[in-house]
Amino acid sequence: MVFSDAVSFLNRSGTYDLVLLDPPYGKGILQRVLAALVPRLSDDAMVVCESGRDEELPAQVGSFVLDRERRHGKTKIALYLRGKDLAE
């Protein structure tokens, strides 16, 4: 587990299988981090994002697609997985 500025951290090398993102809500950070993250993800990676309930998240980021969303109170949890037809 790493506690760091996500965009700065992604300048390091390495690939990731599981990423949990919980940036401040409503600041557009999540979209920037997702775009920077995609090249660092393994083929079977999962990205779990927490955002404000009403924040719009992209349906696709690179080869990763929004698999599902769940709302809990003021929070939304989204899961991104690599699209099977996009990975090939």
Domain membership of residue 36 (yes or no) is yes
Range of the domain at 73: 15-87
In this predicted model, what pLDDT tens digit does every residue of 18-57 receive, in sequence order?
A: 999 998 888 888 888 888 888 889 999 999 999 999 999 9
- The phi-psi region of residue 62 (left if phi > 0; otherwise alpha if psi is between -120 and 50; otherwise beta) is left
Bridge partner list, 42: none
- Would residue 1 count as lying in a domain? no
Q: Is residue 43 in some structural domain? A: yes
Q: What is the mean pLDDT of the chain?
A: 86
pTM beyond 0.85: no
Is 31 part of any domain? yes
How many domains are contained in the chain?
1
| Residue 9 counted as domain residue | no
Q: Which of 45, 24, 49, 44 is nearest to 34 (CA)?
A: 49
Q: Cβ(43)–Cβ(17) under 8 Å?
A: no
- 2 inside domain: no
The reported pLDDT for the residue numbered 88 is 44
Q: In 3-state terms, what secondary structure has residue 46?
A: strand
